[in-house]
A and B are shown apart, each in its own frame.
Chain A
Amino acid sequence: MKCLDLIRTTFLCLLFQGFANECQAQGKFKIDGTATGLSDGKIYVFLGKKIDSVQVTKGKFQISGELEEPVEFIAVAKHSDQRKLVKGTCATLYIEPASMTLQLNGSDFAAAKLKGSKSQDDVYRYNAITDKIILKYKKEQDHFDAVRKKYNDAAAAKKSQEELEAIKEEDQKARVALEPMYKEYQNASVGFMKENPMSYYSMHLLISNSRFLSYDEAAAFYKTFNPLYKKSVLAKELEADIEKMKKGVAGAQAGTFNTVDINGKPIKLDDFKGKYLLVDFWASWCVPCRKGNPHLLKLYAQYKPKGLEILGVSDDDKDHDKWRKAVEKDGIGVWRHVLRGLQYKEGTYERINIDKDISEGYNIHVLPTKILVDPNGIVVARYDGGEEDDKKMDADLAAIFSGK
């Protein structure tokens, strides 16, 4: 799967080619390759949108071309058909406008060794760190895979609901056991970015880890990065993403809105001034959201007398009936409800009136997400991480209202 990821990064350049001169030529590159365990024939190089075949003769081959960015991502692969690129048949590499060498092993492309690219050297250094983490959690990972397989087998054999539920519980435990591994991964990424701000790979790590960082943290990292790379398409994408992180997080101004509620009454953010407001982003079709409603009802009963309001913002613009039914069925009509305001140009999926979409003002990616806003309209906290985050919400509310 890793091979496919490159398409994302390299494709972007092509998209922007129509505009400005985002993709000016950055220079020529050359890779002298030696291959073991490969008979004479073709291998394939994916660069941007292009797939080139390269002839291997007596264990030697050469790849050359021109780069449009200071660093680009290529894949050297056994097949030209991407669906055949399973593990070991593809090497992904960061290359630079330079003269490089590549050592390729026919039985395991992923073990290819590129020399002469600083960016790829950084990847190797980073991988050495994460390899250790993978090794440390091998037992937990194997167990997780085994439980997954057990579930899939049981489901295929049409085992009873109870049996499947029991395996699901095991699966949940196996997942929890892997959590420290992800934490270590995160720490490794952050550590690498701190120590190697000039590395192109740090930009990649910031993109994949921004989810765990606050706006301030991400912006601070970005500031330290290499100015040479800040003109790249990857950097522009990163900048836009960091900008979005300002919304809907602690310390930010809550996104304003001005619409009508489920009963046709006008409603705006200012109406909630002076009270704590929990904005619940949900939808009638979102099972995890619906599951959380009984708990929200409990919180509402407990804290409403002390000054808490809840506003349901639903992703049901397409089908208002479903929305109304869900509100009624779950008995959550005790607090106010609005639609997020998602609109498409008729007959297309082209979005219109994005400034009226309440979700935009809070940078919502998953449902449920809950945002706690203080009496002055400032975001206090964001809860979008599942069960653990729900516990944090409970604790925050308890702390806020303890003295009241």
Chain B
Amino acid sequence: MRRLFALIMLFYALSSTAQVYNPVKWTTSAVKVSENEYDLVVKAAVEKGWHLYSQTVPPDGPLPTKFTFDGKGDYLKKGNTKEEEGHIVDDKIFNMKIKYFESKTIFKQRVQLKNKAAKQIKSSVEFMACDDSKCLPPKSVELIFKLK
């Protein structure tokens, strides 16, 4: 039962291939941890040179990565979305410590199913990415976790 399911986001299909930079690719999986609990795992692959920001950038800094797990309907949220250590820089312009991720990082959200027959959970992530000379405006990507 403890199997991983990966899903390539519709994201690939919806984002135009030309011109638009696409430095962060999202994949999802759901890991069963008990009878009715899952870890929803979101993997972000960040292209060379780009930064994806933490969920906890102080206000007035760059826009943090934000997950929407609304906890309505089929499941309950158990705690916050966990993230990895990442890199922390002391940014002189914002005058604050800013945490970001490079190359690969994983976010995890534990949930408890209210509806045991649920086949999937939908959520979304809003994020921005920058490299040394440019930023991409924030965009939102739908995340779908297949349960089994």
Contact = CB atoms under 8 A, between A and B. Distances in A.
Interface of A: 1, 4, 7-9, 11-12, 14-15, 81-83, 148, 152, 155, 161, 164, 172, 175, 206-208, 210-211, 237-238, 240-242, 244-245, 283-291, 315, 322, 325, 342, 349, 359, 363-368, 384, 386-387
Interface stretch (B20-28, B31-39, B75-83, B109-117): B20-28
Interface centre among B18, B62, B103 (most CB of A within 10 A): B18
A285 B90 contact: no
Nearest to A369: B134
A11 B93 contact: no
Given A289-B135, A366-B136, A368-B134, A83 B18 contact: no
Interface of B: 4, 6, 8, 10, 12-21, 25, 27, 43, 45, 48-49, 60-63, 87, 89-91, 93-94, 102-103, 124, 126, 128, 130, 132-138, 140
A224 to B, nearest CB: 17
Given A12-B13, A15-B13, A288-B135, A349 B60 contact: no
A208 B19 CA distance: 8
Contacts of B15: 8
A362 to B, nearest CB: 13
19 contacts: A1-B45, A7-B8, A8-B12, A83-B27, A83-B43, A152-B103, A211-B18, A241-B19, A283-B135, A286-B130, A288-B132, A288-B133, A363-B19, A364-B137, A365-B19, A365-B21, A365-B136, A366-B21, A386-B132
A83 B28 CA distance: 10
B18 A208 contact: yes
A395 B114 CA distance: 63
Given A7-B12, A287-B62, A291-B93, A241 B6 contact: no
B100 to A, nearest CB: 10
A237 B90 CA distance: 42
B89 A161 contact: yes
B134 A384 contact: yes
Contacts of A238: 18
Given A287-B62, A290-B93, A240 B137 contact: no
B137 A315 contact: yes
Contact of B128 (A210, A245, A285): A285
Contact of A210 (B18, B102, B135): B18
Nearest to A46: B8
Given A4-B25, A285-B128, A366-B135, A82 B8 contact: yes
Given A367-B134, A368-B134, A155 B87 contact: yes
Contacts of B135: 283, 285-289, 366-367
Nearest to A238: B18
B133 A244 contact: no
